[in-house]
Structure 1
Amino acid sequence: MEMWYCRVCGLDYDVSPWGEDGHTPDYSCCACCGAQFGIDDYNVVTAQLFRTAWLAAGAPWFYANLKPAGWKLAAQLPQIPSAYH
């Protein structure tokens, strides 16, 4: 199974919220950073701006009840697709 990673925070997903074609966002929100797919990660600039604000706020989980025990931000950030750094 191919993994998909949030363009803002690097959280891994089994299914792309950008659809099978990679161009049709479902406008759901990332469970970790809260970025709305198709809006907050629409391009490199919007992803970087959202990431900067999220990190400045302390990188809180959008859905705190889904935060894995032992979660490490430093391990997740390198998963951000290279085109969105």
Structure 2
Amino acid sequence: MTLTLQPVRVATGAEDEGLLVFDDEQRLRAILIHLSTENEVAPGHWYLEAGFGRLGGHTHPTFADLDAAQSWITHRLDHKKG
């Protein structure tokens, strides 16, 4: 599976750098937010602001980098097929 990332500004408060995450069929799967270095919980990490379809639910993890975020998303989408 190939993910496409599209930069977007998101009005979340302190952070506004985000990415829309699309799957192979160009369906919106997630919105990731880049946490600022001032963030108290996970400075500089990426946060799953919203997940759609198979990524929906109450889980909103943080990731050390974009590679980790994409790996998690791909794994969740592939794992829940069928």
Higher strand share: 2
Which category of TM-score, normalised to the shorter sequence, fits these structures? 0.3 to 0.5
What's the TM-score once normalised by structure 2's chain length?
0.34
